[in-house]
Structure 1
Amino acid sequence: MIRRLAVAVLALTLAVLVPAAPAAAHNRLTSSVPAEGARLDAVPTEIVLEFAEALNPTYTQLIVTDAAKTRVAVSAPEVDGARARITVTGTPGDNVYTVAYRVVSKDGHPVQGSYAFTVGAGAPAAAPTTAAAAAPPATTGSAPTGPTALIAIAIAIAAVVVAGGAVAFWLSRRRRPAV
């Protein structure tokens, strides 16, 4: 009786906690050309970002801005699997440029981030900080933290306790002789 109950509670615990693991597997930027922090002699004709998972072309956005937060003219993103490519169509000069991206993971979670590179002498020393602030911070693929994580843990524990109680009740009802 106790062994069955323990096995049932363990199985329910695994059933509740294991499916939550893939939520941490959000898409992420794995490489870029030009690379983050690169110093180039001339403005690149194209910018390529490679991600860990395949991209949905409908929900892939790439924006390039200069140190003054002015958008640089670029083509619409061309998506091929996990790679997104844009062509620089304008004629920007020496500056610090920020590439901001927003993509949607397979699980539907939006991921966004940005990085900067410099062309020529770049902009004044204060500009990189301003340019980096032009795009929202990167969203990592880490598990939720803070109140969200505590609520998820509390719900999982409550589900295990309720399921364990239901199994114990069911097992105790099975053992009683019919009246």
Structure 2
Amino acid sequence: MTVPPSRPIAVRLGAAALAVLVALLIPASPAWAHNSLKTATPARDATVPSAPTEVTLEFMQRLDPTFTTIVLSDAAKRKLPTGEPVVTGAKSTVQVTDTLPNGTYTVAYRVVSADGHPVQGSYPFTVADPTSSAAPVANVSASASTPSAAAAVEPDGGPNAGVLVAGAALVLLVLATAGLLWRRAARR
């Protein structure tokens, strides 16, 4: 009985492993990637010289207007009045209905993009208007405040679709290789 050379199997497994590695290292295209915040006005961690009259968020993909929420809160985590979000493509804008005194504010958002995946996050900005006569908003201690809808939320940290597809391909590759080896062993 002759033993078949093991080189073809090793070459195939090496090529398959290389293909999976390349699939994992190539960034996911926008069609596969989840939406993310591209730009914001006021910007993340910005100090603005005058109170904004609106907050505009631009994302990488189109937004579903029905599932777009933007909340503005002050340093005491109190929700501030804004208009309803107006969505145009990948941008959403809310009007700030009151004048903001000097202080730190948080913009919190939750949107659903074309792929149906919800994305949420938040960021701070500061108003430092030298001509403002309004008293700055005082920050209350964490023990005295209650969480609100605008509490800091980190963006979704789940795996993106590219990683999931590559993982599924790897599982299929392992199963196919095991099946091939099983069939060869059964022939002997």
Q: TM-score range by the shorter chain?
A: 0.5 to 0.7
Question: Secondary structure at 1:102's aligned position in 2?
Answer: strand
Deviations 1:96-121 (A, max 9, x none): 21110111244333221111112237
Matches within 5 A, 1:90-101: 90-101=98-109
Q: May I ask how many residue pairs the two structures share in their alignment?
A: 166
Does 2:89 correspond to 1:81?
yes
Q: Residue 59 of structure 1 aligns to which amino acid in structure 2?
A: F
Q: 1:12 to 1:32 in 2, by over 3 A?
A: same
CA distance in 1, matches of 2:170, 2:48: 53
Sequence identity, in percent?
37
Q: Distance in 1 between matches of 2:18 and 2:175?
A: 11
1:51 and 2:64 are equivalent in the alignment: no
Question: Structure 1 residues 6 and 105, CA, compared in 2 at 3 Å: closer, same or farther?
Answer: farther
**1:85 CA displacement:** 0.7
CA separation of 1:107 and 1:6: change in aligned 2, threshold 3 A: farther
Q: Is the 8 A contact 2:101 2:127 kept in 1?
A: yes
Say if 1:62 and 1:102, in contact at 8 Å, map to a contact too: yes
Letter in 2 for 1:138: E
Letter in 2 for 1:166: G
- Residue 118 in 1 paired to residue 126 in 2? yes
Give the structure-1-normalised TM-score: 0.66
The unaligned stretches of length 5 or more in structure 2 are: 129-134
So what's the TM-score if we normalise by structure 2? 0.64
Q: Deviations over 1:42-85 (max 9, x none)?
A: 32111111112221212211000111111111111111111111
- In the alignment, which residue of structure 2 is the partner of 1:136? 152
State the superposition RMSD in angstroms: 4.2
Q: Name structure 1 gaps, 5 residues minimum.
A: none
Counterpart CA distance in 2 for 1:14 and 1:136 is 40
Work out the CA distance in 2 between the residues paired with 1:38 and 1:54: 25
Query: What SS does the aligned partner of 1:136 have?
Result: coil
